[in-house]
Amino acid sequence: STADSQPMSDEEKKLFIKLKQRFSDGKIAVQDVSGGCGQFFAIQVTHPDFAGLSTLKQHRLINQTLSDEIKSLHGLQVHSQS
């Protein structure tokens, strides 16, 4: 879910807010792709800070931002770009 599509679940909101705090001027999308059980999420982040960074470094920034939340998730699919 994103801010302009169907309503986000509580878990989607939690991840979205945390990412928005870190990447405030970026474009962020969070979607529960676990069939509604809240254990696997697809995340997309587009942010100018990613310019010149490898995909691995971009994903590390995202993973660091969500480090506490990741501990309780089954999986995370991350897409990023500048």
Q: What is the pLDDT of residues 20-61, one digit of tens each?
A: 999 999 999 999 999 878 889 999 999 999 999 999 999 999
At how many degrees (to 10) do helices 10-22 and 55-65 cross? 120
Tell me what pLDDT residue 37 has. 83
Dihedral through CA 1, CA 74, CA 21, CA 4, nearest 10?
Answer: 0
Look up residue 43 and give its two tokens: 């995340």
